[in-house]
Each structure stands twice: as C-alpha cells, then as structure tokens.
Amino acid sequence: MRKLLIFSTVLLTLISMLYSCQTAEKVEQDAYYVNGRDIYIAQCQNCHGEKGEGLAELSPPITDTVWMKKNRSLLACIIKHGYATPVTIHGKVYEGKMPDFNMADIDLTQIIVYVTNTFGHKQGKYTTEQVAKDLQNCK
Amino acid sequence: MRDTKAIKNSDGSAGVDTVYQTIPAFKLLNQDSVYITNEHFKNKIYIADFFFTSCNTICPIMHRNLKKIYGKFADNPDVMFLSHTIDFKYDTPSRLKTYARKLGVDGPKWQFVYGPKDTVYGLATKSYLVSVEADSTDKQGYVHQGYLVLIDKDRRIRGAYDGTNPEQVAQLEKDIPVLLAEDKK
C-alpha cells in the first residue's frame, strides 16, 4: 500500500511536470494574444473595427480567413512599414493607404498572434523569431 | 457655465435668458467643388465636425459613429451633416469626394467642405468651439478635438458630443429628435 502511494505520488508529480512543460509555450502564446488584443484596441481598432469589420471602403476588414492564411508572413512588414498596394478582401478591392506603426518585434508578434486567432481565424502560434525573419523580406 | 443676458419677464420681473453661441455666415467649397453657405442648412438642423482624410487616429472613430447616425436619419430631410477638413494643404474637394464615396456617403445630405486655413480654423475655434491646430511635432501634422457639434435651425450650438465616446454619441442620437420636435412647435 505504501509503495503504491509513493509510486502514485511520484507519477502524479511527473505527469504534472510534463503537463506544465507542454503548456509553457501555450502560456506564452496566451500572453501574446492578450497583449496583442490590448495593442489592437489602442492602435488598430479605430480603422479596422471592434470585430475586425473594417470601415466602409476606407479600411479593409481583417476577417478574410483565406487572405489571412496566405499572407500571415507579410503582416509584420505591413504593420511596421505601412501598406499602399491595393488589396482584395472578400472579393472587394481596397485602395487606401495604411500608415506605418513602428513597433518592436515583440509587439508585432503579439498583434499577429491576436489577429490570426480572433475574428474567425485559428492559425495558432507565432514567434518573435518568425517576425524577425519576416521583416528581413520586406519589400 | 452658460452665457446669459438679463431680460424682463412678461410679468415685469427680472430674469435671465441663455445667450447661445451662434455660427456666423460662411462660404466653403464642398466635395463637388461647389460653394456652400448657411443657406444650404436653412431651416434644418445639422451636425458639424472637423477632421482630415488622412487622419488615422480619432477621425475613423468619429466618422464610424457619425455614419451610424447618418443612417438612422437618412430619410429625414431636416437633418444634415457638415464635415470640415483641417488639412488645407492636401484635402482638395476631389480628395473629399473620394473620401465620401469610400465612407459610403453620397448626395447633399452630408457635406464635406474645404476652405483656407484661417477660415476653417477660425470657424472651428471661434464659432464651433472645437480646438484645431496645425502641429509640426505631431506625426500627422494636425491635432484636433473630435466633437460632433449639434446646430439648430437658428444656427445656434445646442450640444457638443465627443465623437469617439459611444455614450455621448448615443446621447446625440437621442437629442436630435428632441431638437426636431422643438422646432415643430
């Protein structure tokens, strides 16, 4: 009986350790998501809307999952350096100019994690390393 | 603190009456490159604001909210809208036209006007009591307040609402029918 008790305690400890290891990354991503939401509200929401719906033809919605999936690696450049190329979202062309938001890589990462996992998107994690790499390929 | 003047009531006793801030005559180019004046708003109430088309801070919020009100009163010819650009360098009538189209606004109900700096800035600060300023230290070059100013049929200011504050915008929406009803009496 005593053996079983010790064994199960050790097992439980091991499992919980393993479990917390697995979630360390998830905890970080969750933090990115929450911080990203704060930045979104402060910097992006005025044009792109509370629900990502955009503003008439002035600002495009960011709810097009196909576009978001295809262009996730461009987001860092678009946010950091602005964007003036017309974009087609949900089959509609938007010609406005997006201003540049000069932010640190970590902030860009947090926004990307938020906008690619909300408004109907579910693209999962994104890291500062990926953002740093994306930024090297800015046009 | 409201501005008042001493008056004599009908029964002979002394009293006070509110002195309303009144909008002077103006003449500004609209999005169709046509001059518009106070005549355009004769016997109508209107909501005025100050913005610029390349503004990406408070203006999108103001106009997102104002467009909702525009939609609510779309069928009421007695309610009009007047947006002044404070970007006298860049926002020509054709720019305003494009902006209006992209915002989804068409027709004479919502006017977007352009004027020389002194005229527009004078109207803003002295008449509509909205602070506007060209500021070279600001990233976008201008700083301004986001008030939506409610003007009655006698060109008097009857309310000013922060266009970025949902509660105040809701109040404006409630106040418009009250003001319209007052004029019907």
Question: pLDDT digit of tens for each residue in chain B (185 aa)?
Answer: 567 888 888 888 888 888 889 999 999 999 999 999 999 999 999 999 999 999 988 999 999 999 999 999 999 999 999 999 999 999 999 999 999 999 999 989 999 999 999 999 999 999 999 999 898 888 888 989 999 999 999 999 999 999 999 999 999 999 999 999 986 76
C-beta atoms of B60 and A58 within 8 A: yes
Strands B45-51 and B79-85: parallel
Q: Which residue of B has its CA nearest to A97?
A: B54
Min Cα distance B22 → chain A (Å) is 32
Q: pLDDT digit string (tens) for A71-115?
A: 999 999 999 999 999 999 988 899 888 999 999 999 999 999 999
- Which residues of A make CB contacts under 8 Å with B? 46-47, 49, 55-59, 96-97, 99
* Full set of structural domains in chain A with CATH: 26-136 (1.10.760.10)
ipTM above 0.85, yes or no: no
Distance from the A38 Cα atom to the nearest Cα atom in chain B, whole angstroms: 16
With a CB cutoff of 8 Å and minimum separation 6, the contacts of A61 are: A48, A49, A52, A53, A54, A89, A90
pLDDT of residue A20: 67
Q: With contacts defined as CB-CB under 8 Å, which chain A residues touch B61?
A: 46
List domains and CATH numbers for chain B.
22-184 (3.40.30.10)
Subunit contact A56:B56, Cβ cutoff 8 A? no
